[in-house]
Amino acid sequence: VKLSFTGLSNTEKGRSGTIAMLQDVTDQEKLEDSRREFVANVSHELRTPLTTIKSYVEALEDGAINDPQLAGKFISVTRNETERMIRLVTDLLQLSRLDSKQATLSKEYTNVFEMLEEVADRFSFQLEQRGIKIVIEVAPFLEEIKIDRDRIDQVLDNLVSNAIKYTSEQGHIRIGARLPDPDMLEIAVQDNGIGIPKKDLSRIFERFYRVDKARSRNMGGTGLGLSIAREIVRLHGGNVWLDSEFGQGTKVTFTLPYPGDEEAAL
């Protein structure tokens, strides 16, 4: 519970020192709790693939190595689990860089339509494999926007890869860009996939929060994609939110200052 000073009378103000301390303690405890939870999550996420690797290597030692077919299968599981750990550690490193106050943006002018087309190109193999159609719709006469291209690419990659992961075969994805305000670009990635139940929506941007852990793991997810996307968008001075209807689909929208070059806007 957060205590606040508003509405206190003069006599109550006399005790405000105590109240301020209580608030500090509560905030401090919340921070400690979330740190503990984060470390527990990281440990668990790393332990799971390590345990799997250990048991497959043991099975190989115990004789599976002499059965070429079985051995091949076990080695490929081991490689997949190693790749999962690398993805996880890469995501964690990135989050920690974004968290540290030194995170800086290296901005360049970017053509929005070309950027979105390139995202779709990066996923063309997966899209084709799963029979998912993608359309890009960009408002006409968009100027180039000044953004950290690598980082916004990462946001788009995370959102499009989610849209693919959580959409069944023959699904549809739409990436749209428009100007809801003259000084704001809005990009939305929408799918007609499995959607997210109402009860999970408020926690979906939390680190490691997943609706279905098994499904996310099977699809190669780390549970950090949306948190990373949110950090990057906020660093640009934008906002990100998610609308979803369970069983119908999901739309993730983010905004960026447009054209993103303060000097030019003067």
Return the sign of the alpha-carbon dihedral for residues 210, 216, 217, 220: negative
Hey, what long-range contacts does 36-42 have (CB within 8 A, 24 or more apart)? 38/207, 38/208, 41/207, 41/208, 42/92
Count the neighbouring beta carbons within 10 Å of the beta carbon of residue 93.
10
Interface residue with ligand ADP, options 78, 110, 192, 216 (CB under 6 A)? 216
Q: Does 250 bind ligand ADP (CB under 6 A)?
A: yes
CB-nearer residue toward ligand ADP: 162 or 255: 162
Pairing of strands 184-191, 240-245: unpaired
Interface residue with ligand ADP, options 81, 88, 147, 225 (CB under 6 A)? 225
Q: Does 204 bind ligand ADP (CB under 6 A)?
A: yes
Site stretch for ligand ADP (CB under 6 A), options 43-51, 74-82, 106-114, 192-200: 192-200
CA-CA distance, 243 to 62, in Å (whole number)?
50
CB 124 within 8 A of CB 173: no
HEC states along 55-92?
A: HHHHHHHCCHHHCHHHHHHHHHHHHHHHHHHHHHHHHH
| Residues numbered 163-182 forming contacts with ligand ADP, rule: CB under 6 A | 163, 166
Instruction: Provide, rounded to whole angstroms, the least separation between the CB of residue 148 and ligand ADP.
Output: 20
Q: Does 196 bind ligand ADP (CB under 6 A)?
A: yes
Q: Does 221 bind ligand ADP (CB under 6 A)?
A: yes
CB-nearer residue toward ligand ADP: 91 or 260: 91
CB-nearer residue toward ligand ADP: 195 or 260: 195
Interface residue with ligand ADP, options 211, 232, 240, 256 (CB under 6 A)? 211
Q: Does 191 bind ligand ADP (CB under 6 A)?
A: yes
Q: Does 190 bind ligand ADP (CB under 6 A)?
A: no
CB-nearer residue toward ligand ADP: 144 or 200: 200
Taking phi over 0 as left and psi of -120 to 50 as alpha, with beta for the rest, 131 belongs to: left
Nearest C-alpha neighbor of 238 from the set 174, 109, 160, 151 = 151
Pull the structure tokens for residue 211.
Answer: 């609706």
Q: What is the contact surface with ligand ADP in residues (CB under 6 A)?
A: 158, 162-163, 166, 191, 193-196, 204, 210-212, 216, 221-227, 250
